[in-house]
Amino acid sequence: MDFAKRILEIQRIINNHNYRYYVLNNPIITDNQYDKLLRELEALEAKHPEMVTPDSPTQRVGAAPLTEFGAIQHAIPMQSLSNAMNDKELIAFDTHVKKLLNTDSEINYVAEPKLDGLGVELVYQDGIFQHGSTRGDGVTGEDITQNLKTIKAIPLKLRYGNNFIPSILEIRGEVFITKDGFNELNSIREASRENLFANPRNAAAGSLRQLDSNITAERPLSIFCYQPGTIEGVEFATHMEFLEALKKWGIPVNPYIRNIFGADEILKYHHDMESKRNDLPYEIDGTVYKVNSFSLQETLGIRSRSPRWAIAGKFKAQQVTTVIKDIDVQVGRTGAITPVARLEPVQVGGVTVTNATLHNQDEIDRKDVRIGDTVLVERAGDVIPKIVKVIIEKRPQNTEKYQIQNTCPICQHPVYRAKDEAVMRCQNLSCPAQIKGRIEHFVSRNAIDIDGFGEKLVEQLVNKNILSSVDKIFTLKYEDLANLERMADRSAKNILSAIENSKNTTFARFVYGLGIRNVGEHITKILDRHFNSDINAFMNSNRDDLDKIFEIGPIVSEGIVQFWEDSDNKNVVLSSINNGVNIAKPDL
Ligand code: IVH
């Protein structure tokens, strides 16, 4: 057989197997047989490069990485859907459509799952895939053609069947990763210590927006198409006819799409899909209803950003029950104390949940959450899972109310809770959980302003136990700095001289740098004036002194009093002064 014929034949055979495997989910050859065909094609095309066409199965991978994505204008803007949050709003949608169409008859809708992936547009010219783009701002998207070509469910050439091939076919669809594909991808990433994707949607988005399409090719992406853009050369009367044509052209269409009538069937479809949701191999976050007739769609028209002829029905947030194994208390970089429930791991919509935030003591009290409780946990989209309620009937005997300790779990200093605030805080200047953040704030431009004392330097100095509190900055020696990674002799000297310069400072800068709760730049200036730049007087002030200051309210004074109650904080200030910090009197 001549090579030209053979090349076309293998291309056709491979395209057919792709279609059977990725679109029909019904492969008839093994992976090995498939690879053999692909290798034969690669070998023939290498010998006859003039025979390589853009729609050849060999052209899905191997493109050179891009430096940036180009822009693509959508011929018709990619709109979004308005949402119905519950049954009532779904019914209201149908009522509104009937009213606008001035009819009492049941409306014919197409009901579709709302896929939780990434909206894209594909453009075929005379049946050949030309380019594809992200939704972007709806008008202009990013050119992700190379990446889309790696998705084998997307035909590079439309199947002919008995259908006309449109000269232009623009279609919209959702690229997604299956729940299994997501778990597999994350376990590979875990093994190589890469950051894990939070959920399948993020994994799909991250994979599709790779400048190197060879990376995209390794990701298990798939697609379902659901919406027309511009189409030239073929006309459809209904949305369903359009979807049927897509299937015949070999473009994947979701198998749960149904032709339905009226509000009752909308609700039935919505509830059916909601109960199937966890059994589907991919994530959906709702359902979509589109008026089937294109002429009625036209009559109904569009609002500013979404059509009047369609609506998305959102599912309730995902909830599951599990058991609280323990409650840990975390200290944030700003001293905020947050209780976190450690859960018996559970799957919620494709994501394993092991922790849930309990926010603060009020929240714990309100829900009466205890260690050992069985709880209802909810994950809504990308947010941190939260505890909806305790299942009291399942509470084991001898549990106790949970109370956050009134000392910091990291440094054991007392924590305080301001009036009207739910959050407890540790105000210890030298608390190890906060020390990096505290130092960064202390040296920042509006505080004592040490030039060149950046985040990376703080990181190294704290990790090497050279710095454990802010006053130690003033006793840093040349060797402390010069021995650090990537620290040139010159930079070490520059930093030391910047530290020297910072020692001549002002009351306002120094106090601001201490990061006392609610004491910002404005308040430090008021304190400066009141205490006449005398830091000792400020340190020894009591509640009465502070309350007398006009412009300073009880919440601010409470934070100040609590800060100075910790004698270690006073010691840090005294030690700074002993080591050369000089607080200038203001220019009055
Ligand atoms: S139709 C004019 N159908 O949801 C209507 N969208 O807010 C255009 N989506 O950006 C969208 N499944 O990414 C449509 N069956 C479906 C969908 C769907 C998911 C996404 C799509 C769109 C967003 C709508």
What is the pLDDT, as a whole number, of residue 380? 59
Share the mean pLDDT of the chain: 92
pLDDT at 153: 95
Question: What is the structure's pLDDT at 458?
Answer: 95
pLDDT tens digit sequence for 303-326 = 888 999 999 999 877 788 999 999
Q: Is the pLDDT of residue 67 over 90?
A: no
List C-alpha distances in Å: 186 to 151, 153, 215.
19, 22, 14
Nearest CA to ligand 1 atom 22: 80
322-339 residue pLDDT tens: 999 999 999 987 798 999
Question: Residue with structure tokens 């599912």?
Answer: 315
The pLDDT of 478-496, averaged and rounded, is: 93
Amino acid at 357: T
How far apart are the CA of 110 and the centre of ligand 1, in A? 13
Taking 70 as the threshold, does the pLDDT of residue 388 lie above it? yes
Mutate to test the pocket of ligand 1, among 110, 115, 175 (most ligand atoms within 8 A of CB): 115
Q: Which of 74, 82, 109, 114 to probe ligand 1 with, by most ligand atoms within 8 A of CB? A: 114
Between the CA of 219 and the centroid of ligand 1 the distance, in Å, is 23
- Tokens coding 226: 């659901």
Ligand 1 atom 11, closest CA: 80
Å from CA of 158 to ligand 1 middle: 23
Q: How high is the pLDDT of residue 524?
A: 94
127: confidence class by pLDDT, cuts 50, 70, 90: very high
The pairs formed by 378-383 with CB atoms below 8 angstroms and a separation of 24 or more are 378/317, 378/318, 378/319, 378/348, 379/317, 379/318, 379/348, 379/349, 379/351, 379/353, 380/317, 380/318, 381/285, 382/198, 382/199, 382/201, 382/202
> Is the per-residue pLDDT at 383 higher than 60?
no
pLDDT at 413: 95
Ligand 1 near 262 CB (within 6 A) = no
* CB-ligand 1 contact for 114 (6 Å cutoff): yes
Calculate how far, in angstroms, residue 16's C-alpha sits from the geometric centre of ligand 1: 28
Query: What domains lie within the chain, and their CATH numbers?
Result: 3-60 (1.10.287.610), 83-314 (3.30.470.30), 317-428 (2.40.50.140), 432-584 (1.10.150.20)
Closest by alpha carbon to 508, among 522, 488, 496? 522
Position in ligand 1 atom list of the atom nearest CA 114: 12
Question: What does the pLDDT average to over 355-367?
Answer: 89
Give residue 224 CA to ligand 1 midpoint distance, Å.
11
At residue 387, the 3 state secondary structure works out as strand
Residues in Cβ contact with 133 at an 8 Å cutoff, skipping those fewer than 6 apart: 72, 74, 120, 121, 141, 142, 143, 144, 145
Provide the pLDDT for residue 382.
46
Q: What is the pLDDT of residues 168-184, one digit of tens each?
A: 999 999 999 998 898 88
CA–centroid distance, 335 to ligand 1, in Å, is 42
Q: Is the CB of 437 under 6 A from ligand 1?
A: no
Name which residue leads in pLDDT, 195 or 128: 128
Residue 81 Cβ < 6 Å to ligand 1: yes
Closest by alpha carbon to 307, among 326, 288, 325? 288
CB 112 less than 6 A from any atom of ligand 1? yes
| Residue 444 pLDDT > 80 | yes
Cβ neighbours of residue 26 closer than 8 Å, sequence gap 6 or more: 20
> Does the CB atom of residue 288 touch ligand 1 within 6 A?
yes
Check if 134 has its Cβ closer than 6 Å to any atom of ligand 1: no
User: Three-state SS for 379?
Assistant: strand
Taking residues 57-67, report their average pLDDT.
86
The catalytic position among 5, 47, 99, 114 is 114
- The pLDDT value recorded for residue 350 is 63
Distance CA 267, CA 91 (A): 8
As a whole-number percent, the residues of the chain with pLDDT over 70 amount to: 96
Query: Is the shortest distance between the CB of 535 and ligand 1 below 6 Å?
Result: no
Q: Is the pLDDT of residue 194 over 60?
A: yes
The answer, yes or no, to whether any atom of ligand 1 lies below 6 A from the CB of 79, is yes
Protein residue with least CA distance to atom 13, ligand 1: 119
585 catalytic residue (yes or no): no
Give the confidence band of 278 by pLDDT, cuts at 50, 70, 90. Answer: confident
Distance 347 CA to ligand 1 centre (A): 26
pLDDT at 554 over 80: yes
pLDDT at 190 over 70: no
- Segment 419-447 shows an average pLDDT of 91
Greater confidence, 275 or 81? 81
Out of 51-55, 88-92, 391-395, 528-532, pick the least confident: 51-55
What pLDDT is recorded for position 195? 67
CA 288 to centroid of ligand 1, rounded, Å: 8
| Per-residue confidence (pLDDT) for residue 419, from 0 to 100 | 78
pLDDT in tens, 571-587: 999 999 999 999 987 55
254 touches ligand 1 (CB under 6 Å) = no
Q: Would you state the pLDDT for residue 588?
A: 47
- pLDDT at residue 472 tops 60: yes
Whose alpha carbon is nearest atom 12 of ligand 1?
Answer: 114
What is the reported pLDDT for 304? 82
